[in-house]
Amino acid sequence: MKDKEVSTIKIQGKYYQKYNKQIVNIHLNAFKNFYLTSLGKPFLSEFYNSIINHDNGLVIALVFQNRVVAFAAGTSCEHF
């Protein structure tokens, strides 16, 4: 990925280790005063990690100049 390109990537394995803090910080800034945010950075880090590692989980990110600028996370499992 070139520095000036915008890319959409599926976050998994090495990408999660690389972008974990950025994903958590985006969440903290986007969802101030929300319950999950109040649980803190360690919780959010584990929360997104559990989605990534779930068989039906998915986290995708928009990356610009090697920084996550947006992401979406979810699962198709209704009992997650």
Q: Is 80 among the domain residues?
A: no
Query: What's the pTM value of the predicted model, to 2 decimals?
Result: 0.81
SS3 state at 72: strand
Q: Is 35 among the domain residues?
A: yes
d(CA 7, CA 3): 10
Domain count, the chain: 1
Give 69 or 13, the one with higher predicted confidence: 69
Q: What domain range includes position 37? A: 6-75
1-59 per-position pLDDT tens digit: 455 678 887 887 777 888 899 999 999 999 999 999 999 999 999 999 999 888 888 89
Q: Is 63 among the domain residues?
A: yes
Q: Is 1 among the domain residues?
A: no
Cα pseudo-dihedral 59, 72, 64, 45, rounded to 10? -60
What is the Cα 55 distance to its own chain's centre? 16
Give 80 or 58, the one with higher predicted confidence: 58
